[in-house]
Amino acid sequence: MAADRRWSGRSLRQISGIFLALLAAAACAIPALGAEPISPGLLLAERYRGDIDVSRYWVSEKLDGVRASWDGKALRFRSGNPVPAPAWFLDALPRQPLDGELWLGRGTFDQLSAIVRHQSPDDAEWRRVRYMIFELPNASGSFTDRVEQIKAITTAANLPWLQAVPQFRLPDAAALQKRLRDIVRSGGEGLMLHRDDAVYEAGRSSTLLKVTPWLDAEANVVAHLPGKGKYAGVVGALRMELPDGRRFSLGSGLTDALRRNPPPVGTLVTYRYRELTHNGMPRFPRYLRVRDKL
């Protein structure tokens, strides 16, 4: 009887140990709460500072779209989550890695976001979406070489929804600023500069630069502030919290629809601003969009 009790105790301890080990392994496999995984192999831009030789860079329009990477088998958001695109959209793509933006056109980000996040893709809506390619992850050669490869790949595919992002050259900073003004006046976001001799690399790099007439950053919504006057009964502003815990109000840029149905508390929002104050707070912040973690 005593032996049975000792065996029973050992068995329970063994089972408990196995169970705890399995729980620990599962915990390690789950991303940390709040983490924003980035698909492996993506190149990320730094901000243009104005002290470079512009003639050494390829220039393209900064598209107001949703970043998507194709590994030859699956199309994924920057988060690494799969894009719920229709089978016909995916099945025709080339069997090699591509990087680009899902895009509808200038000023249509909200429409695009609604289309590409829907788990049951609408064929008619997806017929409007273009996959604009600006990079070939892990491809060899310089970016100039890859520009030509992208043209060849998209031409050979002959798909209306697969296109190369137009790349062009400019002689100097003055020409860059003129093109930036033209793009922004026409409803564009800005420009991207990619150094012509750059080999492909993952992560944030000075070989890829973004040029916009404003700065942008992200903050979390922590409260909805009630409106006054013409905004009585709806949200007047969003109370935002920076990563360091400091807070500010964000009302400029909110549409009537957003004031009636604001981003929930806890949402990460992208805002624009002209500069920082002497104490590091954004000056003239303006709501841009919900920061997609698709």
- pLDDT tens, 81-131? 999 999 999 999 999 999 999 999 998 888 998 999 999 999 999 999 999
What CATH number belongs to 43-211?
Answer: 3.30.470.30
Check the CA dihedral 287-288-293-294 and report its sign. Answer: positive
Which tops the pLDDT comparison, 213 or 33? Answer: 213
178 is catalytic: no
Instruction: Give the containing element (helix H, strand E) for 240.
Output: strand 235-241
Model confidence at 294, pLDDT cuts 50, 70, 90, reads low
Percent of the chain with pLDDT over 70: 85
DSSP string, 97-130: -EEEEEE--TT-HHHHHHHHH-SS--HHHHTT-E
User: How large is the average pLDDT for residues 16-30?
Assistant: 39
Read off the tokens for 212. 């916009």
CA 38 and chain centroid, separation: 9
Least confident window among 20-29, 256-265, 285-294: 20-29
Which tops the pLDDT comparison, 279 or 112? Answer: 112
Asked whether the beta carbons of 59 and 168 are under 8 A apart, the reply is: yes
pLDDT of residue 70: 97
* Domain range summary for the chain, segments of one domain joined by +: 43-211, 215-290
- State phi, psi for 86 to the nearest 5 degrees: -65, 155
pLDDT higher than 50, residue 157: yes
pLDDT of residue 11: 47
- State phi, psi for 15 to the nearest 5 degrees: -65, -40
pLDDT of residue 7: 42
User: How large is the average pLDDT for residues 252-264?
Assistant: 93
Least confident window among 28-32, 80-84, 214-218, 246-250: 28-32
pLDDT higher than 50, residue 29: no
User: How large is the average pLDDT for residues 178-184?
Assistant: 94
Q: Spell 189-214 as b/e; 16+ CB within 10 A means b.
A: bbbbbbbbebebeeeebebbbbbbee
Least confident window among 20-24, 228-232, 237-241: 20-24
Q: Rounded distance, CA 82 to CA 235, Å?
A: 34
Percent of the chain with pLDDT over 90: 69
Model confidence at 280, pLDDT cuts 50, 70, 90, reads confident
Selected catalytic residue, list 62, 151, 178, 230: 62
Model confidence at 292, pLDDT cuts 50, 70, 90, reads low
User: How large is the average pLDDT for residues 265-290?
Assistant: 88
Mean confidence (pLDDT) of the chain: 86
Residue 138's Cβ-count burial label (10 Å; 0-12, 13-18, 19+) is middle
User: Cα torsion for 280, 285, 290, 294, to the nearest 10°?
Assistant: -40
pLDDT of residue 278: 80
Q: Which CATH number fits domain 215-290: 2.60.40.1120, 3.40.50.300, 3.30.413.10, 2.40.50.140?
A: 2.40.50.140
Least confident window among 22-26, 44-48, 97-101: 22-26
User: How large is the average pLDDT for residues 236-249?
Assistant: 94
Which tops the pLDDT comparison, 3 or 197? Answer: 197
Model confidence at 213, pLDDT cuts 50, 70, 90, reads confident
Q: Rounded distance, CA 195 to CA 190, Å?
A: 17
